[in-house]
Amino acid sequence: MPVAAQVLRHASIRPDRPAVRGPGGELSYAGFARRVRGVAARLSGRGAGRGTLVAISLADPVDLLTVVLAADLAGATPLLCDPSWDARVREAIPADLRVDVMPPIADGPQTWPDPLPGDRAWACFGSGSTGRPRAVVRTRASWTASFQRVSELAGIGSDDVVLVPGPLTSSLYGFAAVHALAAGATVLVPGRWSPGTLAAQLRGATVAHLVPHYLPAVLDALREGAESSLRTVVIGGAALPAGLHERAADAGVRVMSYYGATELSFVAVDTDGSGLRPFPGVRIEVRTPPGESLGEVWVRSPWLSEGYLADAVGPLRVDGDGWMSVGDVAEPYRPGEALRLRGRGDGAIQTGGATVVPEDVEEVLRSVPGVGDIVVVGSPHPDLGAVVTAILEVGAGAPPPRATLEAVARGGLDAAQRPRRWYAVESLPRTPAGKPARGLVAARLAGGDHDLRRLN
């Protein structure tokens, strides 16, 4: 069933129940449903329907959700775009219809296309504003059929108030908001993360979806007396630092963390702090090359994406038996054990609210004389989440001066893309195809490998 149809059903059962609360105020399910139907009629009149792709670029999160569900109701595929993207990025985005302002509401048809499980029901970008657009597309079955599993694991129901304190163009936050609406809950969408207003955002929230480095701020706010009924936090995007499960438990908050990727959806989940186990319906293999202590994570499940729109190039690979991988690295795994991740294969770096695509940084810095090859990864940072870190392959020679590297970075990269930390190594580990093994490099860096020399 389309998420929009579920929202209409909730509106008929509990019309006065608050549906969304954003920067501009609150809408009940009845009011939200009216907006969705009216915008769906307007989009249909502009040609939206089954097989069409609607690129949606709206700053207001409630407007964004309205148009996303309107496109869904009309049978089209909504594609969530960051409104901060410049013209160069916007022009590279494929779409049949573009929505940059909230369409006017109109009276329209009361019947909509019959949904099919194989319909393309959702598309969002796995990389963000500092990189080339690379959109992942999902079928209706892979998208909405996982909702009930998430509700059961996290204990989310129609009486909950779910805080989603980040940009909905992120697959993590976008899924969280749409899932909450499908469940009939109230979703709080303040826009972007704002520590200064966190106490007010937590007021009334029973569930929150967060990335790991936001959880300490939430626990600090609770300790400092923020009025809140928060009982569950759902964590995605990266590994949860040690000790946070215990801190949350002391605050009376249960943490459910998960591992996944935009291309793979949910892969593994940790509901009690004992480690990541396969998400329901998921099979996991860690394919370890001979002589190596780490291998690549491969997944087979009903939740996998269809891949990238417009034949974009990305880390996703598919074998002949339907298994997929984005190159994430883990220790050897056997069914029944916890999955022990050691590095992210796609390498997308979340730094200070921006998403940096490593390949874009590497392309610029490979031009520096003395750089044989390069891998860019993220290093943990207490305030920014991560900082861009470059590891140069220099062979037996001396690495280029850091001043030279930084001058090239300033000339060819946006501020968020420029590395803050630089390392040199004689040779980079490589995949069987000869490409630098990004996940292995990240794992070596995190493990303090002495062969990686810091450039000062």
Considering only the top CATH level, what class is 349-454? alpha beta
Helix and strand totals (H; E) in the chain: 13, 27
CB 232 within 8 A of CB 254: yes
Residues of the chain with CATH 3.40.50.980: 3-139
Tokens 């001396």, residue located: 398
Give the pLDDT score at 320.
92
286 closest CA partner among 303, 272, 267, 270: 267
Considering only the top CATH level, what class is 263-343? mainly beta
Q: Is 210 exposed, middle or buried (0-12, 13-18, 19+ CB in 10 A)?
A: buried
Q: What is the pLDDT of residues 120-147, one digit of tens each?
A: 999 988 643 344 568 999 999 998 999 9
Question: Quick one: CA torsion of 207, 212, 216, 219, rounded to 10 degrees?
Answer: 20
CB 426 within 8 A of CB 395: yes
Average pLDDT over residues 319-339: 92
pLDDT of 236 strictly over 70: yes
C-alpha 388/C-alpha 385 separation (Å) is: 10
CB atoms within 10 A of CB 358: 24
Both tokens of 217, joined, read 């701020």
CB 157 within 8 A of CB 183: yes
Give the pLDDT score at 130.
40
Better-predicted residue by pLDDT, 438 or 20: 20
Pick the CATH number of 3-139 from 2.60.40.10, 3.40.50.980, 3.30.70.20, 3.30.200.20: 3.40.50.980
- Annotate 307-336 with DSSP letters as a single string: EEGGG---S-EE-TTS-EE---EE----TT
Q: At what angle do helices 171-182 and 147-154 cross, to 10 degrees?
A: 90
CB 68 within 8 A of CB 78: yes
CB 134 within 8 A of CB 157: no
Specify the 3-state DSSP secondary structure of 28: strand
Q: In sequence order, which residues have a C-beta less than 8 Å from that of residue 145 and are 6 or more positions away?
A: 302, 303
279 closest CA partner among 255, 249, 304: 304
Q: State the sign of the Cα–Cα–Cα–Cα dihedral 192, 193, 194, 197.
A: positive
C-alpha 399/C-alpha 456 separation (Å) is: 11
CB 211 within 8 A of CB 240: no
pLDDT of 433 strictly over 50: no
pLDDT band of 79, cuts 50, 70, 90 = very high
Residues of the chain with CATH 3.30.300.30: 349-454
Characterize the bridge pairing of strands 317-318 and 186-188: unpaired
CB 326 within 8 A of CB 346: yes
Question: Averaging pLDDT over each range in 170-184, 208-222, 424-438, which range is the top one?
Answer: 170-184
pLDDT of 241 strictly over 80: no
Both tokens of 274, joined, read 């004992």
66 closest CA partner among 114, 4, 13, 111: 4
pLDDT band of 343, cuts 50, 70, 90 = low
- The model's pTM is 0.79
